[in-house]
Amino acid sequence: MEVLKTFDPFSLNLYNVSTSIIYNDERMKKRIIDFLDKEDYIVINSVIFDSNITVKDFFKECSFPLKLIPEFNLKRIISRKLNEISHEDFIFIKLLAFINLSRLFVVFDDVLTFLSTQNKKTVINFARSKNLIIYNFTSDEEEVLYFPYTICLASNKVAIEGPTKKVITEEKILKKLGFDLPFVVDLSLQLNYYNVTDHVYFDIDKLVKDLWKKQD
């Protein structure tokens, strides 16, 4: 979960895990929208598109700037129909289109899991470039590494929260709650136990790079 300093997440009562806006074509949960003017949010699954239209026409209907197409590496599918592209591509273009229209904040609910690592980063960076507050409800522990603040919910209550780098190093607490550690964090902690390294890593590339340096 990413929270801007000028915004109070507590005012949205986000601590109930069953209350969020869903961006993955499942039913919409209501609570969060009760606090906002209707013009301040968009729910992707409330809009149905003709699957026979092309990606280009889809973007036009969503008022998405076509000049951004090359930036997101979408030339390969721009002329194809929606029913001809992969599920990941469809999720990807929907997220881009509606992030472009969103104001104030964007909420993901277990939708980034459908995307590749690169596409996840692209979607998150695009939302950040528009100065949107990002809330990411996820069951994938790997995704917390993309955000600076984390809230872990257990039985619909806050079990632990704080800066992500602090929360995910609370190994005993998280495992007691039934949460797994992100792979790179778990691996680096295991390497710490065997004195291979004394650092907790949050980026697999940095871990591999430093391990290679130690062998030189």
Q: How far apart are CA 26 and CA 105, in angstroms?
A: 19
pLDDT value of position 216:
60
Question: CA-CA distances (angstroms) from residue 145 to 28, 97, 182, 185?
Answer: 26, 24, 8, 10
pLDDT value of position 141:
86
Among residues 141, 151, 75, 138, the alpha carbon closest in space to that of 109 is found at 138
* pLDDT higher at 133 or 96: 96
Domain ranges, ordered by start, for the chain: 9-147, 182-216
Q: pLDDT tens digit string along 128-174?
A: 999 888 888 888 888 989 998 888 877 767 788 888 888 888 888 88
pLDDT value of position 162:
85
Question: CA-CA distances (angstroms) from residue 15 to 18, 24, 186?
Answer: 9, 20, 27
| The two structure tokens encoding residue 110 | 């277990």
> Which residues have C-beta within 8 Å of that of residue 202, sequence separation ≥ 6?
145, 165, 168, 182, 184, 185
Look at residue 20 and tell me whether its pLDDT is greater than 70. Answer: no
pLDDT value of position 49:
59
Look at residue 123 and tell me whether its pLDDT is greater than 90. Answer: yes
DSSP-derived 3-state class of residue 195: coil
Look at residue 48 and tell me whether its pLDDT is greater than 60. Answer: no
pLDDT value of position 98:
82
* pLDDT higher at 150 or 193: 150
Average pLDDT, the chain: 75
Among residues 184, 170, 112, 134, the alpha carbon closest in space to that of 4 is found at 134
> What's the whole-number mean pLDDT along residues 53-69?
90
pLDDT value of position 152:
82
Look at residue 95 and tell me whether its pLDDT is greater than 80. Answer: yes
Q: Which amino acid is at 207?
A: L
> What's the whole-number mean pLDDT along residues 178-188?
86
Q: How far apart are CA 184 and CA 197, in angstroms?
A: 13
